[in-house]
Amino acid sequence: MSKTAGIETEIQVEELQIEENGENKKLIYSVKESPPLIITLILGVQAFMTCLGATIGYPFIISTALCLTNDSLGMAQILGTNFFVSGFSTILQTTFGIRLPILQSSSFAFIVPTIAMFSVEKYSCIYTEAMVNQTVISQYGGDHHRSLWTSRIREINGCLMVASLLQITIGFSGILGFMLRFIGPLTIAPTISLLSLSLFDAVYIKSQGQWWIAVMTMVLIIIFSQYLKFINIPCFTYTQAGGWKKILLPIFNLFPILLALIIAWLICLILTISGVFSADPKGWGYSARTDIKLDVIEKADWFRIPYPGQWGSPILTLPGVLALMAGVFVSMIESIGDYYACARLCDAPPPPNFAVNRGIGLEGICCLLAGAFGNTGGVTSYCENIGAIGITKVASRLVIQMAGVILVILGCFTKFSAVLVTLPDPVVGGLFLVMFGMIAAVGVSNLQFIDLNSSRNLVVFGVALFCGLCIPKWLSLPENKGVIKTGSDNVNQIITVLLSTNMFLAGLIACILDNTIPGSLEERGMIKWRNIKQEVSNVKLDQSIYNLPLIQDFLNRQTWTNYVPFLPNYKTKHQDGSESSTAKTGNVELKSYSPLPRNTEMFAAQNNDNNLNAAQN
């Protein structure tokens, strides 16, 4: 008998077919299950790869607002910090927060407020190509340039730390449910849509150097994520019950962004080596060359641990705090929807109130720590990771914790971040074309819950969306700089920043109109969106997955925990006036906070029917 045959007899190989819709009736690993160490490591790397898009894209988008352009070493250090913060936030959230397998990564809700903060005249960036070429100022990456962009990061850090206190208070105090009574699809739709529609400048700025490469990157992502998403690649996985199993994984659907970036990068490398892209900065295709930023790999340290105050002492400004509070609120609402979608995909009961409170509160703490460690924005739950659970059937909490550890380790190796910085700008622009388009579509998709035949609803959405685009654009025109004059410079800046924050303006207008113009709950979409009904938990798992580790037995013996909104014994009154304890386990009926429908809901909806059938049987 050959060695290969011997291995085949020892390993029980079973082909596990995955249906074309990416679903399978049984999880490979549930929330509580722990795969073997080597399998956990491999799955952790896989989970880490799903968050690369947002983690890499965020610093590139705000680099212009930070006056960070062309400082490749600084960008590598910021990317390392971003990885590091995302990693420890993931570990904290999965261990002490919502305790579902959810990755934490950069929140795009902070991009627009950050850009608005530095859009006022006093923050005009003096580092332009003309100024540097004339040697009027020091070169990119010099001490003066570095002090300029680090001062802006310090201001973001100080304002983010204060703004995150809002999320901490809302989460741990339990007032989130009351606030959601006034927020519905008509408020969420224009708010989320303008997260991306207001950033089209960043897309064409990155793409304009070589549109062919940008469009190619976009097309590759679309081909992998849409046309090839049902093509499965044979892989092997290990389960405690059945040993080794052959599974067919939709690799193209799982890693469309990663595959597209690698292919686009390689094509740019070939065209650079062959001389197709000009070496002249003003020549055709220069911005798509792969050797423009190679010096950053040499300059970057091998090992650098991000630490609190790494850029200097935080700077606090009232306009910045108010702007980032708008981002905090949007990020918080988005996370609630992710919690419910993740629970359904994990065959877990819907998150009870105490778990949602604790998850939101801890996410606020993570944003506070992100500001302390010098990150350029806050963190939030990452929906692509949740969608991947529905495809891979891996819902193990330990796997996501391993992904967090990997992020922390990679964040300390600056060379790794430096390699990512060398990504050509047109490739990044192609990535933005797809990502921002998806964000806009997710925002508009909330309109499915309202009555689109109602002129009332059309007025609310249309006015909010158009005002959110028009007013900030008007304020950004050069002739309108300083047009807000109240007699106080601080008040002028506060009003300018808030009116320049597209999503804040649109959300505020939509919320006011939606709650003041007469209309029924059904017409406004509140009944469908809130899903005001009892949800039946899955018979396989109980609410104990939301309990705190190590100290839960102690908490169960304490009566005071019944009145703490983020502890498992917390008692809450539902809409029908009955009081019930959310600490119970088993097959219980729940009424919980309203989830925000996001693109992850399409994965969750398919699992929900299976869960209900299993509970009824």
Query: Each residue of 456-486: pLDDT tens digit?
Result: 999 999 999 999 999 988 888 878 877 888 8
Q: Is the dihedral of CA 399, 404, 407, 412 positive or negative?
A: negative
Tokens matching residue 280: 């002249």
* Rg (the chain; Cα; Å): 25
| Residue 141, pLDDT score | 57
DSSP line for 418-479: HHHHTS-HHHHHHHHHHHHHHHHHHHHHGGGGS-TT-HHHHHHHHHHHHHHHHHHHHHHSGG
- The per-residue DSSP string of 71-134 comes to -HHHHHHHHHHHHHHHHHHHHHHHHHSS-SS--EEE-GGGHHHHHHHT-SGGG-----HHHHHT
Per the CB < 8 A criterion, the answer to whether 189 and 183 are in contact is no
Strands 15-16 and 243-249: parallel
Enumerate the β-bridge partners of residue 589.
Answer: 536
Q: How many CB atoms lie within 10 A of CB 17?
A: 10
- Residue of 327 and 530 predicted with greater confidence: 327
Residues 6+ positions from 148 with CB-CB distance below 8 Å:
67, 125, 126, 127
From 243-247, 291-295, 447-451, 592-596, the region with the lowest mean pLDDT: 592-596
| Cα–Cα nearest to 360, from 100, 182, 575 | 100
What distance in Å separates the CA atoms of residue 58 and residue 108, rounded to the nearest whole number?
7
% of the chain residues with pLDDT over 90: 21
Q: How far apart are CA 526 and CA 186, in angstroms?
A: 9
507: left (phi over 0), alpha (psi -120 to 50) or beta: alpha
The mean pLDDT value of the chain amounts to 78
pLDDT in the model for residue 373:
95
Q: Which residue has the higher pLDDT, 360 or 245?
A: 360
Residue 189: per-residue pLDDT: 86
Amino acid present at 45? V
Average pLDDT over residues 494-498: 83
Decide: helix, strand or coil at residue 587: coil
The whole-model pTM stands at: 0.74
